[in-house]
Amino acid sequence: MRVKDIMSAPVYVITPGEPISRARNLMLRHRISRLPVVLHEEPVGILTESDIGHRLDQAEPQWRRRPIDQIPVQLVMTKSLVSIYPDASVWQASELLLENGIGSLVVRDGVGGDLQGIITKRDMIEYFSRMTADIRASEIMSDFVAAVHKHHSLSHILQMMWDEEVDRVVVLEYGGKPVGIITNSNLTFACTSSTPRKGRRVQELPVIAEDIMSAPLVTTAEDGLATDAARIMVDARIASIVVVNNENDVVGILDQDSMLQAINNMGEES
């Protein structure tokens, strides 16, 4: 299987001078999590939901206080790009994604060639979901799960994600049962959804976990097939799935990197 067989094309793009409000609207409208940034038809960077969420949380008075329709993409985007050829193998794509710790590769027709498409972790997980592999969720899941209570504040959540270096937290109710999950997508919406209009006084209420979490929580059984979990993730358009035992206790989390590593391992063994 080649990159060109599973890549996303055509590609939605944005320019460095456009506001991040337009980028966010494009992401929401087309249900995507990243946009290549182009200048004179040349890719110069990429903008992701993570970029928006992380940068808006930084205390940068030069631009943080501006409304999001006045913050240009160039201040938020990631400038480093990793590209791959259309005829490269899916195994090569998984290796590049894992080695560079990134969520996508731009697909170009040769060095300095035209932008042909983009291959994302989501594309790779859809490919994995169609594979025949006797791999259980418990075999490739991470058993470390960052968790918060449903009444924890947004600032507490952001601090935990920063301290633990994670991009998602599971939300628990009283008794420790899982009720939701908070990811970068939730944080991007929370950080950019409300900008006070000029002349209007707004009383800010504290945002807590249950206000922004995705619920109901999508889960998979620890003894279930990892490929079945991948299909659930693709259908639900989510980047991770919580793994539970027979008592509905959280025992781990299965994310895109876990599945990329499985693809990579199978490529090395073949």
100 shares its domain with 144 = no
* pLDDT digit string, tens, across residues 217-259: 999 999 999 999 999 999 998 999 999 999 999 999 999 999 9
φ, ψ for residue 179, nearest 5 deg: -125, -10
Category of 40 on φ-ψ map: left (φ > 0), alpha (ψ -120 to 50) or beta: left
146 shares its domain with 224 = yes
Q: Is position 16 within any domain? A: yes
Q: Is position 232 within any domain? A: yes
Strands 115-120, 104-108: pairing is antiparallel
150 shares its domain with 43 = no
165 shares its domain with 221 = yes
* pLDDT digit string, tens, across residues 120-150: 999 999 999 999 889 999 999 999 999 999 9
Structural domain for 49, as ranges: 3-129
How large is the average pLDDT for residues 100-123? 89
Q: Is position 120 within any domain? A: yes
Q: Is position 148 within any domain? A: yes
pTM above 0.85, yes or no: no
Contact in structure between 186 and 214 (CB atoms under 8 Å): yes
Residue 4 above 90 pLDDT? yes
Q: Name the pLDDT band for 185 (thresholds 50, 70, 90).
A: confident
| Residue 215 belongs to domain with CATH number | 3.10.580.10
Contact in structure between 16 and 44 (CB atoms under 8 Å): yes
Q: Is position 237 within any domain? A: yes
122 shares its domain with 145 = no
Q: Is position 225 within any domain? A: yes
On average, the pLDDT of the chain sits at 87
Q: Is position 50 within any domain? A: yes
Q: Is position 198 within any domain? A: no
